Amino acid sequence: MDFIDIHTHKKQLSENVFSVANKYPVSLDFTSPFSIGIHPWFINKNKIEAELLILAKKLQHKNCVALGECGLDKVIKTDFELQKTVFKKQIQLSEKYQKPLIIHCVKAYQDIVELKKELKPTQVWLVHGFNKNWQVAQSLLKNGILLSFGTAMINHKKLQEVVAKVPLEKLFLETDDKDDAIVEVYVKVAKLKGVPLEILQQKIQENFKQLFLKTT
């Protein structure tokens, strides 16, 4: 049974890992399962329309499973209103091509929730690399936004407490840009949840098939 890594920037070499590789409009290799989006860090206002056209094309690729990562980041210098405009355009593409949305969010969780309420999307929204407290997690979950946890959780006791409370059907796991093996993340979460590793694998596979492959 495969370990699903829902978001990674690394090339996957393990045979028992199904990974969703993060891609950008400038990426060239789309030979394995991928998501693609305009990351808020890399917004260039002179290239937005051209990159959105690339996204529209790549979202129709047979190996594309999601749009992202995209989202909102209040730490970077990029104008926040511009970030919101680009994010909204990608939400529209997510809806048009029926692809789940993988979200990058830094200090903008309430903004994400408000957009979800305003736009009422039909596609799944998943915040990747979640590392905040249970109160923030509850707000996202209550509004139908799923959570993905990465290697930061392995040695972060407060975050482990959050993971333990998140329902299995709302949960995904990832490695993001880290070299750690996804298996380590699964082993830790299985222990926190008090379930056999195989059951955790099975449940996340079910989540993936139900939420990410429902249109294929």
Query: Is residue 169, in this structure, part of any structural domain at all?
Result: yes
- Higher-confidence residue: 86 or 15? 86
Query: Is residue 216, in this structure, part of any structural domain at all?
Result: no
Query: Is residue 185, in this structure, part of any structural domain at all?
Result: yes
Q: Give the residue among 31, 36, 11 at the shortest CA–CA distance from 175.
A: 11
pLDDT at 180: 74
Q: Is residue 12 pLDDT above 80, yes or no?
A: no
Residues 44-73, mean pLDDT to the nearest whole number: 97
Query: Is residue 116, in this structure, part of any structural domain at all?
Result: yes
pLDDT at 10: 84
Which tens digit of pLDDT belongs to each residue from 127-175? Answer: 999 999 999 999 999 999 999 999 999 999 999 999 999 999 999 999 9
Query: Is residue 123, in this structure, part of any structural domain at all?
Result: yes
Query: Is residue 37, in this structure, part of any structural domain at all?
Result: yes
1: how many CB neighbours lie within 10 A of its CB? 10
Q: How many domains does the chain have?
A: 1
129: left (phi over 0), alpha (psi -120 to 50) or beta: left
Cα–Cα dist 160/31, whole Å: 35
Domain that holds residue 46: 3-211
Mean confidence (pLDDT) of the chain: 95
Q: Is residue 181 pLDDT above 70, yes or no?
A: yes
pLDDT at 216: 41
pLDDT at 215: 47
Q: Which residue has the tokens 């594309």?
A: 64
pLDDT at 1: 64
Query: Is residue 149, in this structure, part of any structural domain at all?
Result: yes
Query: Is residue 22, in this structure, part of any structural domain at all?
Result: yes
What secondary structure does DSSP assign to 134-172, as a single string? HHHHHHHHHTTEEEEE-GGGGG-HHHHHHHHHS-GGGEE
Share of the chain above pLDDT 90, in %: 90
Does the pTM exceed 0.85?
A: yes
Which CATH number do you get for residue 10?
A: 3.20.20.140
